[in-house]
Amino acid sequence: MAIDGYSDYKSREFCRDIKCPVQILLDATKKGSEEFEHVRNVCIEGCMHTTREFHYWLIDKGYLIVKPEKNKV
């Protein structure tokens, strides 16, 4: 759910922007195929990038990480 005036992060935006070789393979493979699921599993189980890289990429791209206050959910 986007905050007014802001846009949400789109799935795999980081991967595409940094030209991750695994993402390039995914984009070249038919979604839902056996090969796609095999390549996708590489991402799930052995991503070659760190959360730190992702976090700093988000900051560099101007993303804000927000969550609702506990009592306001």
Domains of the chain, by residue range, sit at 13-72
Residue 12 — left, alpha, or beta (φ > 0 → left; ψ -120 to 50 → alpha)?
Answer: left
The per-residue pLDDT for 47 is: 92
The predicted model gives 12-21 an average pLDDT of: 96
Nearest to 30 by CA among 21, 40, 19, 41: 40
The pTM score is 0.80
pLDDT tens, residue by residue, 25-73: 999 999 999 999 999 999 899 999 999 999 999 999 999 988 888 876 5
